[in-house]
Structure 1
Amino acid sequence: MTSGHVMMAMSLDGFVARKDHQLDWLMKQKTEGEDHGYDDFIASIDVIVMGSNSFRTVLSFGEWPYNKPVIVLSQQLKDADVPAHLANKVEILNQSPSALMKTLNARDIKRAYIDGGAIVRSFLAEGHIATMHITIVPILIGDGVPLFDTLPQDIDLQLEKSEAFGSGLVDLHYRVLS
Structure 2
Amino acid sequence: MESTGKVRVYIACSLDGFIAGPKGELDWLEQSADKDDDKKSDTQVQAGAVTFEEMLSNTGCMLMGRTTYDTVVGFGPEMWAYGDIPVHVLTHRELPPSKHNAKAVSGSLQDAVQNALAAAKGKDVYVDGGSMIRQALDAGLVDDMIITMIPIVLGKGISLFAGASQRHPLEFYGNFKYNQTVQLHARPIRKQK
Identity fraction in percent: 29
Take 1:17 and 1:71, find their aligned partners in 2: how far apart are those partners? 22
Helix, strand or coil for the counterpart of 2:143? strand
Match of 2:166 in 1: 153
Residue correspondence of structure 1 range 55-74 to structure 2 within 5 A? 55-62=69-76, 63=78, 64-67=80-83, 68-74=85-91
Alpha-carbon deviation of 1:124? 0.4
Q: Give the gaps of 5 or more residues in structure 2.
A: 38-42
Which of the residues 176, 179, 186 maps onto 1:174?
186
Alpha-carbon deviation of 1:150? 3.0
Q: Does residue 36 of structure 2 align to residue 31 of structure 1?
A: yes
Asked whether the equivalents of residues 60 and 119 of structure 2 are also in contact (C-alpha less than 8 Å), the reply is no
Residue correspondence of structure 1 range 8-87 to structure 2 within 5 A? 8-29=11-32, 30-32=35-37, 33-35=43-45, 36-62=50-76, 63=78, 64-67=80-83, 68-75=85-92, 77-79=93-95, 81-83=96-98, 85-86=99-100
Letter in 1 for 2:102: V
Alpha-carbon deviation of 1:82? 3.6
The verdict on how the C-alpha distance between 1:104 and 1:48 changes in structure 2, with shifts beyond 3 A counting, is closer
Higher deviation after alignment, 103-112 or 47-56: 103-112
The verdict on how the C-alpha distance between 1:108 and 1:143 changes in structure 2, with shifts beyond 3 A counting, is closer
Match of 2:105 in 1: 93
Q: Give the gaps of 5 or more residues in structure 1.
A: none
Letter in 1 for 2:161: F
Letter in 2 for 1:155: H
CA displacement 1:89-120 (0-9 Å, x = unmatched): 00111232211123234446441100000010
Letter in 2 for 1:66: Y
